[in-house]
Structure 1
Amino acid sequence: MDKFLLQQQVLARLADDLRQTEEAARVAHETATHEENIAENKYDTLGLEAAYLATGQARRAEAIREAIAHWRQFRPRDYDESLGIQVGALVCLVDAHDRQQQLFLGPEGGSMKLGSGAELVQVISSQAPLGQALLGKREGDEVALHVAPARLQFEVLRVQ
């Protein structure tokens, strides 16, 4: 599986998310400032609600821009057994029911599922609970994660 190709897919998805978020912010701003939405009394809050929405969308757009910058600077490296799993690793986990999942450990802001051929790859950051649990692990190691109220357990099957 090509890590560079996965990175390009993440960047394309983030760019699409950014376009949608910026459009939503623009529409909310136009709604907030439209003359028909000027409050006539204290209970008329459509303009105020649209302004809050526009602010939230603008913040979301800024977060996506930061994620894009992190992913553009990101250079996935080959797996180094001596360091264990690090950011940039492509990891195959298996659970107690023999279900496998592919994970690509990347920088912040890229939590998404991508298709790579016939396989699905879950992109997670090292700040995610599972990402933190994976750091430093090697093939054959067990990874346990508490997700209230359950305890999830995996084995690291392969790392690239």
Structure 2
Amino acid sequence: MNKTDLQALIIEKLQADLTIAKDALKASHEAATHAESKAENKYDTRGLEAAYLADGQRRRVHEIETALSRYRNLPVRSQVDEPITLGALVSLEQAGIGRWVFLGPDAAGLRVVVAEAEVQVISPRSPLGHALLGRCDGDEVEVLVDGRRQQYEIVEVR
């Protein structure tokens, strides 16, 4: 699995998300400023609701733009025989089931398929991402999720 290809796929997916978010921002801004959104009485909140939606869409566009910038500036480096840091691609095993995670600067939860394997982006702010920082091949990490302890073995770090 090539990390350069992985980062390119993440950037591509974020770019597609940005296009959708910008279209939604435009539509919500038009709805907020349209003449039909003007309040007809003191209980009519259509315009206010449309403005809140537009503000939320504006924030989402900003979040995606920030994530794109961080991924474009994230150096691709080998993590072989080094502790896990930002940009590491990690193979984990839990109860005999394997999965790949990429410790990225942002866009946690995003999933991409590389070389027929699904990779989930996690951030250092997540419990699993935080637990992985500084660990190496063969280490075990324990994470508390919904009040239950989950144990992972680090199989491989790239």
Q: In structure 2, what residue type is equivalent to 1:116? A: V
Shift in Å at residue 84 of structure 1?
1.0
How does the TM-score come out when normalised to structure 2? Answer: 0.95
> What is the RMSD computed on CA atoms of the aligned residues?
1.2
Shift in Å at residue 110 of structure 1?
4.7
Counterpart in the other structure of 1:12: 12
Q: Structure 2 unaligned runs (5+)?
A: none
Structure 1 runs (4+) deviating above 4 angstroms are: none
Shift in Å at residue 25 of structure 1?
1.0
How does the TM-score come out when normalised to structure 1? Answer: 0.94
After superposition, residues 25-40 of structure 1 pair within 5 angstroms as: 25-40=25-40
Moved more, 64-73 or 119-128: 119-128
Per-residue CA deviation, residues 90-130 of structure 1 (Å, 9 max, x unaligned), is 1111012x000011112123531111122111111222221
Counterpart in the other structure of 1:50: 50
Per-residue CA deviation, residues 53-111 of structure 1 (Å, 9 max, x unaligned), is 00110011011111111000001211142x41111211111012x00001111212353
Counterpart in the other structure of 1:134: 132
> Secondary structure at the residue paired with 2:66?
helix
d(CA) in 1 for partners of 2:34 and 2:140?
57
Q: Tell me, yes or no, if the aligned pair for 1:86 and 1:105 is still in contact at 8 Å.
A: yes
Counterpart in the other structure of 1:85: 84
Q: Structure 1 unaligned runs (5+)?
A: none
> Secondary structure at the residue paired with 1:120?
strand
Q: In structure 1, what residue type is equivalent to 2:146? A: A
Counterpart in the other structure of 1:70: 70
Identity across matched positions, percent = 44
Q: In structure 1, what residue type is equivalent to 2:42? A: K
